[in-house]
């Protein structure tokens, strides 16, 4: 399952679970006082700004102003828990919310769907089949409550694939495409139909860019090779210290199907180009000006090394001042897996 894919979840960007969210409906049965509305608006703003710890407190405070019975506030708490990775807490909050909105079918659909997302994220950690089954049950409850939402079919299909029930999962994904052929998750649905293993394996996020030497590189073009993404910056002392080791690794594996790509977070292009020239960094170099690749791979510590295997599956992640000897071992593991695949022509590619 794609660990770094970005999907919309009840109006938020949510990296990790490869499942989609229902649009958030109005909840006419729960009119809020002006003070609650103002507090809720403040919480929503903090959420949109990515200040999730503050947003959580604000949603709870808004719910307090609403006497503990503000459905939108509780939903905000639950989705913020998801964003913070506190999926067990999100499940508990969804249970509370379900009791509160028991007579509101639309809101129940949103609640069950969000609980399914949280359970799916919990299942992803250890590929817990029981948790996937629980997530599927919640998605089906969401579908019963809000049968007009196509994305629930996507969620059910994705969860079925995670449980290796490929035929049933593909049927659900096709149903999603039939109902919403141009939807936000149409491309993801087609990709899963084409290769159901994407629901079970940690495929790396796609990337494509033009390097400092004006060469175009994409993940698809590099299939069949072991890929190392080096996230770094000239402003980062540990990154700079690691460069001589990377130079040695590039030379060591020059004759092997290994590609090292350095993705820089520098803001000064001139300084970056001067540095890579002076330090003989002859492998592909990319200046990630808008941090798109960095965000896709969830990088916030430097240096970070990501190793992707010959099938495009994420295999290793070494963070911070990791010993480059560990990186060399990870590359060797990738080459060993590639050699094994070459000896097994029937193996999936």
pLDDT tens for 296-313 read 898 989 999 999 999 999
pLDDT tens digits along 238-275: 999 999 999 999 999 999 999 999 999 999 999 999 99
Q: Are residues 35 and 106 in the same domain?
A: yes
Q: What number is the average pLDDT over the span 66-92? A: 96
242, 304 contact by CB (below 8 A)? no
Strands 314-319 and 304-308: antiparallel
CATH value at residue 226: 3.40.30.10
Q: What is the distance between the terminal CA atoms of the chain, rounded to a whole angstrom?
A: 16
At residue 209 the predicted structure's pLDDT band, cuts being 50, 70 and 90, is: very high
Q: Give the C-alpha distances (Å, rounded to integers) separating 191 from 10, 175, 194, 199.
A: 23, 15, 5, 10
At 345 the pLDDT is 55
Instruction: Please enumerate in sequence order all residues whose Cβ is within 8 A of that of 92, keeping only pairs 6 or more positions apart, or say none.
Output: none
Q: Is the pLDDT of residue 15 over 70?
A: no
What is the C-alpha separation between 279 and 229, in angstroms, rounded? 18
Query: Which of 169, 199, 229 is a domain's end point?
Result: 199
If you average pLDDT over residues 10-34, what whole number do you get?
Answer: 50
Q: Are residues 215 and 190 part of one domain?
A: no
Q: What is the extent of the structural domain holding 242?
A: 208-342
Domain membership of residue 307 (yes or no) is: yes
For the question of whether the overall pTM of this predicted structure is more than 0.75, the answer is no
Do 127 and 50 lie in a common domain?
A: yes
CB 90 within 8 A of CB 82: yes
**Looking at the predicted structure, is the pLDDT value of residue 95 above 90?**
yes
In a domain, 85, yes or no: yes
What is the total residue count of the chain?
349
Do the domain assignments include residue 319? yes
pLDDT at 93 over 50: yes
CA distance 323 to 304: 11
Claim to verify: residue 103 and residue 130 sit in the same structural domain: yes
Structure token pair of residue 190: 């087609």
237 shares a domain with 333: yes
Is 347 inside any structural domain? no
Same-domain pairing of 221 and 185: no
Write a three-state SS string for the chain. CCCCCEEEECCEEEECCCCCCCCCCCCCCCCCCHHHHHHHHHHHHHHHCCCHHHHHHHHHHHHHHCCCCCHHHHHHHHHHHHHCCCHHHHHHHHHHHHHHCCCCHHHHHHHHHHHHHHHHHHHHHHCCHHHHHHHHHHHHHHHHHCCCCCHHHHHHHHHHHHCCCHHHHHHHHHHHHHHCCCCCCHHHHHHHHHCHHHHCCCECCCCEEECCCCCEEECHHHCCCEEEEEEECCCCHHHHHHHHHHHHHHHHCCCCCEEEEEEECCCCHHHHHHHHHHCCCCCCEEECCCCHHHHHCCCCCCCEEEEECCCCEEEEEEECCCCHHHHHHHHHHHHHHHHHHHCCCCCCC
Q: Which of 152, 177, 199 is the last residue of a domain?
A: 199
Burial class (CB in 10 A: 0-12, 13-18, 19+), 49: exposed
Tokens of 102: 């028991």
What's the total number of domains in the chain?
2
136 with 159: CB under 8 angstroms? yes
Is there a single domain that holds both residue 83 and residue 184?
yes
How much of the chain, in percent, has pLDDT values that exceed 90?
Answer: 79
CATH, residue 69: 1.25.40.10
């Amino acid at each position: 399952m794609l660990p770094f894919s970005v999907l919309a979840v009840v109006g938020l960007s949510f990296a990790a679970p490869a499942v989609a969210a229902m649009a958030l409906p109005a909840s006419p049965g729960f009119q809020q006082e002006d003070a609650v509305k103002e507090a809720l608006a403040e919480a929503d703003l903090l959420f949109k700004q990515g200040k999730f710890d503050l947003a959580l407190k604000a949603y709870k405070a808004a719910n307090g102003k609403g006497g503990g019975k503000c459905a939108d506030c509780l939903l905000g708490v639950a989705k913020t828990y998801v964003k913070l990775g506190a999926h067990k807490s999100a499940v508990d909050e969804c249970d509370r919310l379900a009791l509160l909105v028991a007579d509101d079918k639309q809101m129940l659909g949103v609640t069950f769907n969000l609980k399914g997302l949280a359970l799916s994220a919990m299942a992803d950690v250890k590929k817990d089949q029981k948790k996937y089954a629980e997530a599927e049950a919640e998605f089906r409850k969401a579908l019963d409550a809000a049968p007009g939402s196509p994305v629930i079919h996507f969620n059910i299909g994705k969860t079925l694939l995670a449980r290796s029930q490929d035929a049933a999962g593909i049927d659900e994904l096709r149903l999603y495409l039939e109902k919403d052929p141009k939807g936000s998750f149409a491309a993801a649905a087609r990709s899963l139909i084409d290769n159901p293993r994407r629901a079970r394996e940690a495929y790396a996020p796609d990337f494509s860019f033009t390097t400092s030497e004006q060469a175009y590189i994409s993940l698809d073009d590099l299939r069949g090779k072991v890929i190392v993404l080096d996230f770094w910056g000239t402003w980062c002392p540990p990154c700079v210290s690691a460069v001589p080791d990377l130079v040695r690794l590039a030379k060591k594996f020059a004759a092997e199907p290994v590609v090292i790509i350095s993705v820089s977070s520098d803001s000064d292009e001139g300084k970056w180009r001067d540095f890579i020239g002076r330090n003989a960094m002859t492998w592909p170099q990319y200046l990630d000006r808008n941090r798109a690749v960095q965000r896709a791979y969830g990088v916030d510590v430097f240096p970070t090394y990501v190793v992707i295997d010959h099938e495009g599956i994420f295999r290793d992640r070494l963070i911070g001042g990791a010993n480059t000897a560990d990186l060399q071992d990870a590359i060797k593991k990738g080459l060993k897996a590639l050699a094994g695949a070459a000896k097994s022509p029937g193996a999936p590619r």
